[in-house]
Amino acid sequence: MSSMLRGFAPVLAAALLVGVLIASVPAGVQSIGVCYGIIGSNIPPPHDVVQLYRSYNILSMRVYSVEPPALDALRSTGVSLILGTTNDDVVLLAAGASNAASWVQTNVKPYYPDVKIKYIAVGNELTDGAAQSIVAAMRNLNDALAAAGLGDIKVSTAVKMDVIANSYPPSSAVFAQPYMTEVAQLLATTGAPLLANVYPYFAYLGDQDNISLGYATFQLGAPPVTDSSNGLVYTNLFDAMLDAFYAALEKAGAPGVAVVVSESGWPSAGGVAATVENARVYNQGLIDHVAHGTPKKPGPIEAYLFAIFNENQKPGEEIERNFGLFYPTNNAPVYPINFSSSMACNRTRLRGSRRHKMY
């Protein structure tokens, strides 16, 4: 990870420069989360990244591996965290309780509670044989956390839409593989949510004949879609995709498990419908929408935008390098975005206490 901005002053200057674009928000009120990826040659140092989050009151973060400089930068900041294991870690964690105990002692105990680790994500979008190790790895990590006195940290796994079969209409959705039923039932036992990466962009890309751009990007006036099985009316694709997860959880015997949207976003360049304006409209639409919930599950949605920066070394198609909200070279926003609707959602909460076919 190369250096770009050092110290707080440059970050503060960038925040002031774009203050007219991203609304200021009250201190202490939690915003929608944002994923922090580091697959780039020009990503700022962790301290500056954390200051950028705090400058815009983004108080939830997801990271994909244990990076000690990033965790140290999060100490005593109040930023809550989804901490990921690497996909390579999963088989090791599943192999034995001692491996999980060692992982917790090395990667969690030195940081918690100074770092507000909320969830541990056991892998990200695991497939094939590695996916069969998820349940054992989750069980071993749960036991290791409990033994270390860290049982408040919830263990889950992050999945993509491919784990769902029969996703249209949403009420017909089921998990495609037996291991996901085991995952769901374990989450029901521990009280942890399922982490789901929900990308209407890829659903739209794969079925443009049946999905309108407006429906995929939260635009008012897009023709609604009715689930013929239960009569629920969907005005956007995100809700339909999320409710497919809830339907699958019910069929797996885990109706009480919540779904946290651990990634969602829209690329601003590099592919079909990947424009700055479409990215702005989708991400702003998601921020504005999370207060309301879905037709099946009304109420606030916990969601994480992907991602804080464009990452110029991500493999794959060009769109993969253009999901960022900010340019890493100067911390300037890729497009104007306002987090204030998310703030209102979380104020209400405080007072009261990738790819598939879908059309």
Predicted local confidence at residue 57, as pLDDT? 87
Q: How far is CA 59 from CA 31, 118, 333, 359, in A?
A: 6, 12, 18, 33
Predicted local confidence at residue 129, as pLDDT? 87
Rounded to 10 degrees, what is the CA torsion of 38, 127, 201, 31?
Answer: -50
pLDDT per residue over 163-172, tens digit each?
999 999 999 9
Take residue 206 and report the two structure tokens written for it.
Answer: 């794969």
pLDDT per residue over 105-128, tens digit each?
999 999 999 999 999 999 999 998
Flag whether 299 is in a domain.
yes
- pLDDT band for position 187 (cuts 50, 70, 90): very high
The pLDDT of 119-144, averaged and rounded, is: 96
Predicted local confidence at residue 236, as pLDDT? 98
HSE-CB for 60 with a 13 A CA cutoff? 22
Q: In 3-state terms, what secondary structure has residue 35?
A: strand
Predicted local confidence at residue 202, as pLDDT? 98
Q: Look up the pTM and report it.
A: 0.88
28-32, 49-53, 185-189, 251-255: least confidently modelled range: 28-32
Number of domains the chain is built from: 1
Flag whether 186 is in a domain.
yes
pLDDT per residue over 28-57, tens digit each?
333 599 999 999 999 999 999 999 999 988
Q: Is 182 a catalytic residue?
A: no
Q: How far is CA 204 from CA 87, 198, 325, 330, in A?
A: 27, 12, 21, 32
Predicted local confidence at residue 31, as pLDDT? 54
Flag whether 133 is in a domain.
no
Predicted local confidence at residue 316, as pLDDT? 97
- Looking up tokens 């190369």 gives 2
Flag whether 37 is in a domain.
no
- pLDDT band for position 3 (cuts 50, 70, 90): very low
12-26, 87-101, 124-138, 156-170: least confidently modelled range: 12-26
- Confidence check: pLDDT of 17 > 70: no
Predicted local confidence at residue 341, as pLDDT? 59
Predicted local confidence at residue 128, as pLDDT? 86
H-type helices in 254-359, by residue range?
276-289, 340-351
Flag whether 320 is in a domain.
yes
Flag whether 270 is in a domain.
yes
199, 263 contact by CB (below 8 A): yes
Q: Which of 299, 267, 133 is nearest to 201 (CA)?
A: 267
Predicted local confidence at residue 20, as pLDDT? 32
pLDDT per residue over 63-84, tens digit each?
999 999 999 999 999 999 999 9
Q: In 3-state terms, what secondary structure has residue 23?
A: coil
- Confidence check: pLDDT of 359 > 60: no
- What is the DSSP code (8-state) at residue 13? H
Rounded-to-integer distance, Cα 125 and Cα 235, Å: 27
**Residue 319 belongs to domain spanning:** 160-359
Flag whether 178 is in a domain.
yes
- Looking up tokens 């956007």 gives 236
Rounded-to-integer distance, Cα 318 and Cα 67, Å: 26
Flag whether 52 is in a domain.
no
For the chain, what is the mean pLDDT? 88
The angle that helices 8-17 and 46-55 make with each other, rounded to 10 degrees, is 40
Name the more confident of 29 and 241: 241
- Confidence check: pLDDT of 356 > 70: no
* Cβ-based neighbour number of residue 291 at 10 Å: 18
Rounded-to-integer distance, Cα 268 and Cα 322, Å: 6
Predicted local confidence at residue 342, as pLDDT? 54
Q: How far is CA 36 from CA 50, 84, 89, 192, 270, in A?
A: 10, 11, 19, 22, 20
Out of 182, 250, 263, 318, the active site residue is 263
- Confidence check: pLDDT of 5 > 90: no
CA 132, 136, 142, 144 dihedral sign is negative
- Confidence check: pLDDT of 16 > 50: no
- What CATH number does residue 301 fall under? 3.20.20.80
- pLDDT band for position 15 (cuts 50, 70, 90): very low
Predicted local confidence at residue 215, as pLDDT? 98
What percent of the chain clears pLDDT 70, i.e. is strictly above it?
86
Q: Is 125 a catalytic residue?
A: yes
Q: Which of 189-217 are b and which e, b meaning 16 or more Cβ less than 10 Å from the residue's Cβ?
A: ebebbbbbbbbbbbbbbeeeeebeebbbb
Take residue 74 and report the two structure tokens written for it.
Answer: 């999060």
- Confidence check: pLDDT of 21 > 80: no
Out of 125, 250, 318, 320, the active site residue is 125
Q: How far is CA 52 from the centre of its chain?
A: 18
Residue 196 has φ and ψ, to the nearest 5°, of -125, 130
